[in-house]
Structure 1
Amino acid sequence: MVNPLYARLQATANRLIKAYGQAGVVTRITPPDPVLGGEPVSTPHPATLVPMAYEARYVDGTNIRSGDMQIYISSVGLASEPTVGDVVTANGTDYAIVNGDPNKYDGVTAVVFTVQGRIA
């Protein structure tokens, strides 16, 4: 059951990301069939997002590298949940998702997707 508090938080996050963010694309790359082969299939999904550089104190060179971006993606209207292996296009740059948090506090409603993007 959807908690109304998280629905309001989702709406607030969406409003802020629309106001201060930008249009971007989350691309899901499906690998070829292991038996039949073929080419990987890329499926782009339009998204509204806010890319932010990590503060220097968080960059440790292992988990978070220089150039990594913390990307907040609005969950409202997004066709699929961003996951590791997807590619996010923001600021004209492609970032491979290496880590993510769906922020589903009640287990159902994704308030906002927070992902770590690394230049692809």
Structure 2
Amino acid sequence: MATFDYAEMQAVAEELITEFGQMGAIKRITPPDPVLGGDPVETSYPANLVPMTYDQRYIDGTTILTTDRQIYISSVGLTVVPQVGDIAVAGRVEYHVINADPNNYDGHVNVVFIVQGRLA
């Protein structure tokens, strides 16, 4: 039985996102130390991404709003795994990450990150 090549699928996803997407960023804000205090630290990670409108049949007005975007983020070269609480930046538009799916089927290769982004 042949095994599935997830690295190949990752390369295909990277190629498509590069062709149809844009350079953006994932911003992560680290809260201040609970004991020592200080200011929150914002770190920006360059990312190649594609924000797409959700198909009308998925928009229910509660979980998914009409202004939400399904954002495909290339995992190639990205040094963080997008998570809820991060901010995806596409162009000059910022989206709060509401839901995140790493699409890691074999436990080793993140094929592509798909997040639900809500206007910040």
Partner residue of 2:56?
A: 56
CA offset at residue 91 of structure 1?
A: 3.2
Number of residue pairs matched by the alignment: 118
Deviation digits for residues 37-86 of structure 1, max 9, x if unmatched?
11110000000001001112111111101200000000000011110000
1:52-91 alignment to 2 at 5 Å? 52-91=52-91
CA offset at residue 4 of structure 1?
A: 6.4
* 1:40 lines up with 2:40 in the alignment: yes
SS in 1 for 2:5: helix
Task: State the distance in 2 between where 1:68 and 1:29 align.
Answer: 21
Partner residue of 1:25?
A: 25
What are the ranges of 5 or more consecutive residues in structure 1 without an aligned counterpart?
none
Task: State the distance in 2 between where 1:114 and 1:19 align.
Answer: 17
Task: State the distance in 2 between where 1:84 and 1:105 align.
Answer: 20
Deviation digits for residues 4-26 of structure 1, max 9, x if unmatched?
60000001100110011100010
Task: State the distance in 2 between where 1:61 and 1:38 align.
Answer: 38
AA matched with 1:12: V
The percentage of aligned residue pairs carrying the same residue is 58
Partner residue of 1:112?
A: 112
Task: State the distance in 2 between where 1:14 and 1:110 align.
Answer: 11
AA matched with 1:87: I
What TM-score do the two structures reach when normalised by structure 2?
0.94
Aligned alpha-carbon RMSD (Å): 1.1
CA offset at residue 108 of structure 1?
A: 1.2
AA matched with 2:7: A
What are the ranges of 5 or more consecutive residues in structure 2 without an aligned counterpart?
none
Task: State the distance in 2 between where 1:4 and 1:77 align.
Answer: 22
AA matched with 1:20: F
